Amino acid sequence: MSSSTSAKQAAPASTRAKPANKAEAAADYLDGRLGIYSLAKANLRKIFPDHWSFMLGEICLYTFIIIILTGVYLTLFFKPSMGEVVYNGSYAPLNGIKMSEAYASTLNISFEVRGGLLIRQIHHWAAIVFVAAMFVHMMRVFFTGAFRKPREINWIFGFLLLFLGFFDGFLGYSLPDDLLSGTGIRFMEGAILAVPLVGTYISFFLFGGEFPGTDIVPRFFTIHVLLIPGVMLGLLVAHLILVFYHKHTQWAGPGRTEKNVVGMPLMPVYMAKAGGFFFLVFGIIAAMSAIASVNPVWAYGPYRPDQVSTDAQPDWYMGFAEGLIRVMPGWEVRAWGHTLNLGVFIPLMLFPLVLVAIAVYPFIESWITGDKREHHILDRPRNAPVRTALGAAWISLYLVLLSGGGNDLIATHFHLSLNDITYFVRVGSFVVPVIVYIVTKRWCLGLQRRDKEKVLHGRETGVIKRLPHGEFIEVHAQLPQERLHTLTSHEQYEPVELPAETDENGVARKVGLVTKTRAKLSEGMFGEGSQIPKPTVEEHQEITSGHGHH
């Protein structure tokens, strides 16, 4: 008897109820080690709002996963070496030609490894879609004001991902050591040499001596497959943790406030939709890779510094850097035995600045508004005309520079003079964004006016009525309360005013330059001419109850 009690003491039964089935038992096991129940409690039925534009971020995530999966496959076959070999494979036109192992193994992946060409194409296509999706996703966040507190840091994470994505794309493009990629690396060498003081040193250290040397492909390989993807993975996880923690933003609408989030639960709807969407994206990219060839390196031949193919074009996302370098006049300053190559150095500096302009925007805006509150309801782009116009102007600058980067293609396709396009881009980079800014802002204000009209006078029904005294009118229908609420719930800032010249005691106040600038900017953003005051309840009542309403 005593022995049985002591056995019981040694292994007391768990107080937990018996699991109903194997799955519950397995979950219990994991909970005892990982604490999964507490983790899942808050998240299993976590609410995700639904809007088509939220899938843009998902595309970024899924293409990133596809890039990693296919990238790992490619590393199994690719030889990142500049060792020289004579090609002897199934692509007859290049047989007997000397090339680097990197290029030869790329040909091998494309022609001998079964499915290798497909994976290469998926890798490249996914990279193109990845950068494009990051761009559009970022625009979505920008134009809806989703970057405002508490999400500014996540905006920066996203920006860094875009920047690194650009860079890793360029490095990946350079690895096969074909004629086109070699030309891209030469471009990079020229750009580095243009850096004053240390340019030649950086170039010699990067290339392990004179251009092109034999070190560059293995070095780029390590950076392309290990360093940058590692950093990006970390940023991505941080980005997603913050998305999860902040919860999604949502559009204004009935029942939606700053203090709630309305949508479908993670399990099952969101899981099925998001999980399914991954396969949709992967499937489409696989099909694209089957029918549309991208970067057919075998057509270019191996790299030789004294040869070039005529349509030397980088991937589109590098196109605006290419545009900057093409339209820049060839300014060179020579003094005291030194050369300052401004024609290359200025574009080299402008390239990141055009991007950083977007990165710092959230901080500038919050400084101007002085708003320290959290925002979870999205702005309709029309309700923030200055922000929307700035974004549109930035995009137009990007497109103008991109067309500068493709000036040779535009010239041959549309039979235009190449020089004219370049001159246009030189002027256009300054003029077009200004025009786009003005047009967009006016357009937004027009839309605001139309919203106001709708709220006050109702919606046009298309029904024409004849009044007893003979006049024809169109019948306007009152909007339902849901619409009225949605159209009037947005916030409107008032411009900051400078404090009075003198304080209560009549002593002159010192107003600093910073305060003055801020007041000016705030006036520009929210002053008269930058927003249409939204309709008030009184206005609405007066019109709906009064006479003369038709």
Partner 1 sequence: MSHDMSDDKLPQAHDASDAHGDVAVTDNPFADPGLPAHQPRRTDIDERAAKRAERQVSLMFLVSMLATVGFIASYVAIDPDKIVYIFPLGHISALNFALGMTLGVALFCIGAGAVHWARTLMSDVELPAERHPIEADDEVRADVIEQFKTGAAESGFGRRKMIRNTLIGSMALVPLSGVVLLRDLGPLPEKKLDVTAWNEATPAAPIRLVNMNTDEPLKAEDVAVGSLTFAKPGPSASRPAGLQESDEDFQQAIAKDALMLIRIQPDDIKDANSKALGFEGVLAYSKICTHVGCPISLYEQQTHHALCPCHQSTFDLSDGARVIFGPAGHPLPQLKITTDASGYLIATQGFNAPVGPSFWERSA
- Please report, as residue ranges, which positions from 119 to 158 form the binding site for partner 1 (by CB under 8 A): 121-122, 150
Q: Check binding of 310 to partner 1 (CB under 8 A).
A: yes
* Minimum CB distance to partner 1, residue 169 (Å): 19
Minimum distance, C-beta of residue 16 to partner 1, in the bound complex (Å) = 28
Q: Smaller CB distance to partner 1: residue 22 or 413? A: 413
Site string for partner 1, 522-541 (x = CB under 8 A): x--------------x--xx
Number of other residues whose CB lies within 10 A of the CB of residue 109: 22
The residue range among 25-33, 159-167, 202-210, 465-473 that interacts with partner 1, by the rule CB under 8 A, is 202-210
Structure tokens of 496? 């900051």
Please give the Cα distance from 548 to 118 (Å, whole number): 69
Largest CA distance in the chain: 109
Q: Which residues are paired to 86 by β-bridges?
A: 98
Number of residues that bind partner 1 (CB under 8 A): 141
Residue 189 as a binder of partner 1 (CB under 8 A): the answer is: yes
Residues 28-87 that bind partner 1 (CB under 8 A): 46-47, 50
Shortest approach of partner 1 to residue 29 CB, angstroms? 28
Place of tokens 């089935």: 21
Among 27, 213, 366, 410, the residue binding partner 1 under the rule CB under 8 A is: 213
Instruction: DSSP letter for 223, please.
Output: I
Query: Closest distance between partner 1 and the C-beta of residue 322, in Å?
Result: 8
Q: What is the contact mask toward partner 1 in residues 377 to 406, using x (rule: CB under 8 A)? A: ------------------------------
Strand, helix or coil at 286? helix
Q: What minimum distance in Å lies between the beta carbon of 306 and partner 1?
A: 4
Residue 112 near partner 1 by CB under 8 A: yes
207 with 215: CB under 8 angstroms?
Answer: yes
Q: Is 60 left (phi over 0), alpha (psi -120 to 50) or beta?
A: alpha
The nearest distance, CB 100 to partner 1, in angstroms, is 9
C-beta of 187 vs 220, nearer to partner 1: 187
Distance (Å, whole) CA 61 – CA 274: 11
Please name which of 521, 349, 350 lies closest in space to residue 430, comparing C-alpha atoms: 350
* Helix axes 361-369 and 513-526, enclosed angle (nearest 10): 90
**Bridge partner residues of 502 (DSSP):** 508
Residue that the structure tokens 């490249």 belong to? 124
At closest approach, how far in Å is the CB of 164 from partner 1? 20
Contact positions with partner 1 (CB under 8 A) in 452-511 = 455, 481-482, 484-485, 488-489, 491-499
Comparing CB distances to partner 1, the nearer of 311 and 474 is 311
DSSP output for 346-383 = HHHHHHHHHHHHHHTHHHHHHHHH---S---BPPPGGG
The whole-angstrom separation of Cα 130 and Cα 138 is 12
277 contributes a contact to partner 1 by CB under 8 A: yes
Burial class (CB in 10 A: 0-12, 13-18, 19+), 510: exposed
- Residue 268 touches partner 1, criterion: CB under 8 A: yes
Residue 366 contacts partner 1 per CB under 8 A? no
Q: What is the DSSP string of 180-220?
A: HHHHHHHHHHHHHHTSTTTHHHHHHHHHTSSSSTTTHHHHH
Nearer to partner 1, 212 or 391 (CB): 212
Q: Please identify which residue in 137, 376, 380, 441 interacts with partner 1, judged by CB under 8 A.
A: 376
Choosing from 29, 244, 331, 430, the residue that interacts with partner 1 (CB under 8 A) is 331
Q: Which of 202, 216, 209 is nearest to 170 (CA)?
A: 216
Q: Rule CB under 8 A: is residue 262 a binding residue for partner 1?
A: yes
Q: How far is the CB of 469 from partner 1 (least distance, A)?
A: 30
Residues 232-251 within binding reach of partner 1 (CB under 8 A): 245-247
Cα separation, 359 vs 156, in Å, equals 6
To partner 1, the closest distance from the beta carbon of 484 in angstroms equals 5
The answer to the question of residue 287 lying near partner 1 (CB under 8 A) is yes
Q: Does 95 bind partner 1 (CB under 8 A)?
A: no
**In the numeric block, which tokens belong to residue 429?**
């980079």
